[in-house]
Chain A
Amino acid sequence: MKEILEGSHAVAEAVRLCKPDVISAYPITPQTHIVERLAEMVADGDLDSEYMCVESEFSALSACLGASAAGSRVYSATSSQGLLLMAEVCFNVAGMRQPIVMSIANRAVSAPLSIWNDQQDSIALRDSGWIQLYAEDAQEVHDFHFIAYKVAEDHQVLLPVFICFDGFILSHTYEPVDIPSEAEVDAFLPPYKPYNMLDAKNPLSMGMYATPEYYMEFRYDLDQAMMRSADIIRRVGKEFGEKFGRDYSGLIEEYHLEDAEVAIVAMGSICGTIKDAVDEMRAAGKKVGLLRIITYRPFPADDVKSALKRVKKVGVFEKNLSIGARMKGAVGYEVKDAINDSSTQVLSYVAGLGGRDITIADIKKMVEEIEAGRGDCFFGLRQELI
């Protein structure tokens, strides 16, 4: 059923259909409309979940961990400062292999304080062991939740998932979203069957400590699960396509890359703008393409290499910043490593931080910079301020 929905509400509708037992909610701009809509649903009896108004994001994820360990499907959402506050718990959740799904309304990090969009928050957690999906539009954010729970809860995976979507740009704008029926979702996403569970009938100690004799193998197991998840994401994404008509079997999306001389690599909603820019440049005769990374963790290295094999000039649009790193952005390093070909130029452009708007004209300017071989820098700085 198609409805025009605010992005946050598209998330809430998906969560409602996933039927978590426990929702633990702490508000933070720009995720607030998600947790508020879920609270309304519970208050009106449209969603049968235990809804906890926790006292901080740190407790939000800790409560999710406890509830998940006790055998319940759980949900939370956060952004920016909230995600950084729960960083300790994020690493703990992944290590404890709890299949928690959390929506991240991507937002810049303090200091300076900013409520506006960039991807510094989720990129800062790239080593935490969470699967990371980046949505381009409201339909994707909505659909990713069904896929995320199914992937996370697969006993071959048992990893938590961040569903990342750009704050304000996607969370607070209205788009048409096709919402499946409860029966359709129930047929796709079965009830959660835990692997380890707190149960007095079957006692288990969870979260023991590991001495040097054991610790490395636990971390190896975690990495292996993340690597295995790539094929499971593809499989579940394909199954989703067969059942709902929207295919998600790709960890990347290729847009006009077959004969591209210049390629932009990007994640998230900016890809919509980039696709429009690519269309205009193509119409003017320029052979440009876009590689959209959808699954950032596990990093789809083979897919990236294959997609860019004929491109000699690649520019990575980064809404993140790795302070002190030569390339400036974090994603560029992994793209360059995946390509692993010194005859291909890979440059990073840090842009759009703190909600700075990126226009089609900006994208065209960036392509000129890529062609000129000028990169590994900030893009679009206001020179009069520095």
Chain B
Amino acid sequence: MADKTCELMDCGHRACGGCGPAFAGRLILKGSGPNSIVCASTGCMEVFSTPYPQTAWKVPWIHSLFENAAAVASGVESAIKKQGRDENVLCICGDGATFDIGIQCISGAFERGHNITYICYDNEAYMNTGIQRSGATPYDASTTTSPAGKHSFGNNRPKKDLPRILAAHGSPYVATCSIAYPNDVIKKVDKAVTTPGPTYVQIHTPCCTGWGFDGAKTVELAKMAIECGLWVNYDLVLGELDKAKKIKRKPVEDYLRSQKRFAHLFKPQRNDVEIAKIQAIADANAAKYGIDL
């Protein structure tokens, strides 16, 4: 049950100043409430919040391995079902754990239909280990394992469409949201935890350290991503598009210019070809989700 006033993550955690995922963590727990059990994967949120013995979590929390949060959550859900308990069972995992190494466990958990809510905080790379490329890294973003260079424009693959993959598993509710609109995050998490069955929420959480911008601008960057159509806030109810946030769309230029991970697209001069490709991705998103006002 959503409660905007509750604070279930303690101060004293070690996230970077201005951290998008840290902000998202507080919002997730406001959406789910104290009657929650969190299954975390290895990653930024796990590492900055639980160096023994200083845990920042005020709800029951378990971390096992990098790739198995969904399987652990399946077990938690089965156990509490058998015991007649009613806690919300959540996974809170980064995009690396979700899109890549954890995809098998998520697929199995969703196929079995467990009553869990899987929340992915998407900062678009393996940030905790130092900014390596993941299946969520956007086209032409420079990361340490997909660096821009003399023969490369950065990551040369589009972002994996995980929300649709999970909707195809029969998930009754799949939503994307962003820390740009915090009340929307809380509302979608609340809806996800109160919808029976396996539900998925993907939260766009810009990373100042990994993307290369000043931490004070985290929310501004998240807004720019939505305003140019590279990130779309939408929800899928029973696999069908229910609502998508409509915008007066801006070109992708300003969003790309604001981040060091796209700086190579503007030096030594503006790379018209690559930026056009990224604009095409935004245009395709706009068409697919009907977001243009």
**A and B touching (Cβ–Cβ under 8 A):** yes
Which A positions have Cβ atoms within 8 angstroms of B? Answer: 21-22, 24, 49-50, 52-56, 58-59, 62-72, 74, 88-89, 92, 96, 198-200, 202-211, 214
Smallest Cβ distance from A82 to chain B, in angstroms? 14
Q: Which of A55, A66, A203 contacts B57 (CB 8 A)?
A: A203
Besides A54-B74, A88-B65, A198-B60, 8 more A-B contacts (Cβ < 8 Å) are A22-B78, A56-B108, A58-B67, A63-B78, A65-B64, A206-B63, A207-B62, A209-B51
Q: Which of A58, A66, A202, A214 contacts B74 (CB 8 A)?
A: A66
Closest residue to B66 on the A side, CB-wise?
Answer: A88
B87 in the interface (beta carbon within 8 A)? yes
Partner pick for A208 among B63, B67, B71, B73, CB 8 A cutoff: B63
Q: How large is the interface on B (under 10, 10 to 19, 20 to 34, 35 or more residues)?
A: 35 or more
Q: Are B65 and A206 in contact (CB under 8 A)?
A: no
Interface residues of B in 53-80 (CB under 8 A from A): 53, 55, 57-65, 67-68, 71-80
B258 at the interface (CB under 8 A from A): no
Interface hub of B39, B74, B112 (most chain A Cβ within 10 A): B74
A198 touching B76, Cβ below 8 Å: yes
In contact, A62 and B71 (Cβ under 8 angstroms): yes
Known A-B contacts A62-B64, A74-B75, A200-B34; the reply to A50 vs B81 at CB < 8 A is yes
Q: Given A62-B65, A67-B78, A205-B50, is A200 in contact with B107 using a C-beta cutoff of 8 Å?
A: no
Cα(A313)–Cα(B62), bound, Å: 51
Q: Are A206 and B72 in contact (CB under 8 A)?
A: no
Q: Is B60 a contact of A59 with CB atoms below 8 Å?
A: no
Residue pair B78, A55 in contact (C-beta under 8 Å)? no
Contacts of B150 in A (CB 8 A): none
Chain B residues in 8 Å Cβ range of A89: 64-65, 68
Report B's interface with A, CB cutoff 8 A: 34-37, 39, 46-47, 50-53, 55, 57-65, 67-68, 71-83, 87, 104-105, 107-108, 111-112
CB contacts (< 8 Å) of A22 on chain B: these are 75, 78-79, 82
Residues of chain A lying within 8 A (CB to CB) of residue B53: 208
Tell me if B79 and A72 are in contact (CB < 8 A): yes
Q: Give the residues in chain A near B67, CB-CB below 8 Å.
A: 58
Contact status A58-B62, CB under 8 Å: no
Q: Is the CB of A52 within 8 A of B60?
A: no
Partner of B72, one of A62, A203, A205, A214: A62
- Contact status of A59 and B78, CB under 8 A, knowing A198-B60, A200-B36: no
Report Cα–Cα, A72/B52, bound state, in Å.
25
